[in-house]
Amino acid sequence: MKYATRYILFLTLLVLLPFLAFVHLSIGQVDFSIEEFFSSFLMSGENQMKDIVLQKIRIPRMLMALLSGASLSLAGLLMQTLFRNPLAGPYVLGINSGASLFVALSIMTGIPFFTTDLSLVSGALIGAFLFGMLVLFFAKIVKNQISLLLIGLMLGSFTSAIVAFIQSVSPSEDLKIFTLWGLGSLQKVNIEQIPYIFMFIWIGITSALLIIKSLNAIVLGEQHAKLLGINVSNTRFIIILITAVLTGITTAFCGPISFVGLAVPNLTRILFKTQQHKILIPGTLLIGGIFILFCDIIIKLLENHFIIPINVLTSLIGAPMVIWLVLKRLK
Amino acid sequence: MSLKTKDLIIGYHSPLLHVEDFTLDTGNIYAIVGRNGSGKSTFLKTLTKQIQAISGNVFIHKKAISTIPLQNFPKYISFVPSRFPDTEYIRVEEFIAMGRNPYTNFFGSLTREDLKKINHSLHLLNISHLKGRFTTELSDGEKQLVAIARSLTQSTPYILLDEPTAFLDYPNKQNVFQLLKRISIQENICVLLSSHDLEQVIKITSKFLLVNKEDKIIHFENSIQQVEDIVSKIFI
């Protein structure tokens, strides 16, 4: 019975995803007929302009929506499992802030090491990892989960303050670049960068799948995991590393996108009603991709009237969802 | 097969209690009794490698536990903590299946042998009907049985339990104690439990480890008369 519902859920998601991807691709200023769409898709269209619109603009944006949604959601799931707290996530725990801080350094300080495209990525990765380790360090000292969340929020505030300071002393061109980055966008990625981003995210996903056994034990808490023979400190370190890669890479290319990592894993757990990571990981990846794809479809539909940054929309949807989750747990 | 201690001194960072050398044999049930905060939990945690001994050694089948690697240790001793984890969305059979963790492959897949062990434990504790329920939906008594079932599924010669009846009402207490007694004999397992339910414990065993806080010592006693004398001294 319960397995049947699982299959139906997966099947629904697997149908919904390509459907939304197709809808996402078909929205925009330029209209495509069905034939034009498929011929452009296969790069054999007669209309070169339409080929370029689809291949260079729409497909990268669609793929980036999927990749960012999937990776941020998986990062959130891993954080929630590690800290045994459904309100944990890369954003709440300040891991995003670490990435943001280093990106701010890279865009605005003009320190030579930080000024190339590659260094923006490595900066975000390093920042995410450093802050991940910092949170881990605090987690070892404070056993109380609420305190840990508060520390994460304070880390976030503290880094925002530093970033604000850097902003106040930066020239206006740099400031503009950083502000736009901070609003989040799926459009800055070009098709050549996608394979590299995909590779990083793939490494993150594969590593997560390789520690399924430890993840399943760690949801019961550190003591139980140890009693079952799991090397908890190794697992923790690996989780932080994977989270840093997933959060860092998406943050570097799309800017900070909040609440996805917090809301999607919770939604997945509520839908599938399980703590088995062999179900939760694919579930989170699919729902995460669908979630951002859906948000970006709304953005594209409204684009003629006003432009909503992706980070604004995910917060608008995500924040009420989290409040709902908190209320639900209080019952 | 036996579990032995030699010149054991336990405590968190500083010495708390000296443990007189003793031997626990499989097929028997033992109880460690003492006041709240006397060091029962510290003692059990030391035996299960959750904390290090200050000095001295614990031997299982003549092997010092400090030399047994972490991932193999759960094949020797299983431990039932006093609190059941409050994680949601875990089904009883999944929770019990985790007892097979030390034996399963890299991905944790269950073999037919594993499933047989799981069903055997469910059957022994009369909780087969709870199999598909979420652990968060169980009563305190049921939770304790499920926790014991996971320990059994670990197929260890030793099961240690920290205050297994602390949160239970009278009928549930009796039930848990009787089940533990039955299991120790039927499955030839050594059960060591901590408790301050002396009246109940005396019904199922006469082998005691007594924590004497005054003299900072844990010592072994197996004559009921002696136990009663000493216990009245410790508790009053």
B107-124 pLDDT, tens per residue?
889 999 999 999 999 999
Q: pLDDT grade, residue B189 (50/70/90)?
A: very high
Residue A328 contacts B where some CB pair is shorter than 8 Å: no
Interface of A with B in 111-130 (CB under 8 A): none
Weakest mean pLDDT among A45-49, A273-277, A319-323: A45-49
* Residue A244 near residue A132, CB atoms below 8 Å: yes
Chain B residues near residue A221 by CB distance under 8 angstroms: 85, 87
Q: pLDDT grade, residue B39 (50/70/90)?
A: confident
CA distances to A186, A210, B117, B178 from A191, in Å: 12, 29, 53, 68
Chain A residues near residue B98 by CB distance under 8 angstroms: 216-217, 220, 224, 228
Chain A residues near residue B134 by CB distance under 8 angstroms: 273
Residue B78 contacts A where some CB pair is shorter than 8 Å: yes
Q: pLDDT grade, residue B235 (50/70/90)?
A: low
Q: Rounded mean pLDDT of A152-172? A: 88
pLDDT of residue A120 exceeding 80, the answer is no
Calpha distance B115→B101 (Å, rounded):
12
B56-79 pLDDT, tens per residue?
999 998 899 999 998 899 999 999
Phi, psi of A282 (to 5 degrees): -60, -40
DSSP one-letter code for B99: G
What tokens appear for A5 in the block?
Answer: 């519902």
**What is the ipTM metric for this complex?**
0.90
The pLDDT of residue B233: 67
Place of tokens 């901590």: B194
Task: Give domain limits for chain A.
Answer: 68-330
Mean pLDDT of chain A: 87
Amino acid identity of residue A311, one-letter, is: N
Weakest mean pLDDT among B5-9, B128-132, B204-208: B204-208
Closest CA to B231 of B41, B32, B15: B32
Q: pLDDT grade, residue A2 (50/70/90)?
A: low
Calpha distance A172→A179 (Å, rounded):
10
Place of tokens 């039930």: B175
Q: Rounded mean pLDDT of A215-229? A: 93
Q: Between these two residues, A212 and A142, which has the higher pLDDT value?
A: A212
A-B contacts (CB, under 8 Å): 66
A54-68 pLDDT, tens per residue?
888 899 999 999 999
pLDDT of residue A118 exceeding 70, the answer is no
Q: How far is A138 from chain B (nearest CA, A)?
A: 21
Phi, psi of B211 (to 5 degrees): -95, 115
Q: Do A220 and B85 touch (CB under 8 A)?
A: yes
A68-330 belongs to which CATH class? mainly alpha
Residue B50 contacts A where some CB pair is shorter than 8 Å: yes
Could you give the 3-state DSSP secondary structure of residue A219?
coil
Residue of B71, B94, B132 with shortest CB distance to A276: B94
Compare all CA atoms of chain B with the CA of A1 and give the residue at the minimum distance: B132
Mean pLDDT of chain B: 89
Residue B87 contacts A where some CB pair is shorter than 8 Å: yes
pLDDT of residue A311 exceeding 70, the answer is yes
Q: Do B48 and A269 touch (CB under 8 A)?
A: no
Residue B74 contacts A where some CB pair is shorter than 8 Å: yes
Q: Which residue of A227, A235, A268, A284 to mutate against B (max B Cβ within 10 Å)?
A: A227
Q: Rounded mean pLDDT of B177-204? A: 89
Place of tokens 């579930």: A283
Q: Where are the beta strands (DSSP E) in B106-151?
A: none
The pLDDT of residue A321: 85
Residue of A84, A224, A229 with shortest CB distance to B70: A229
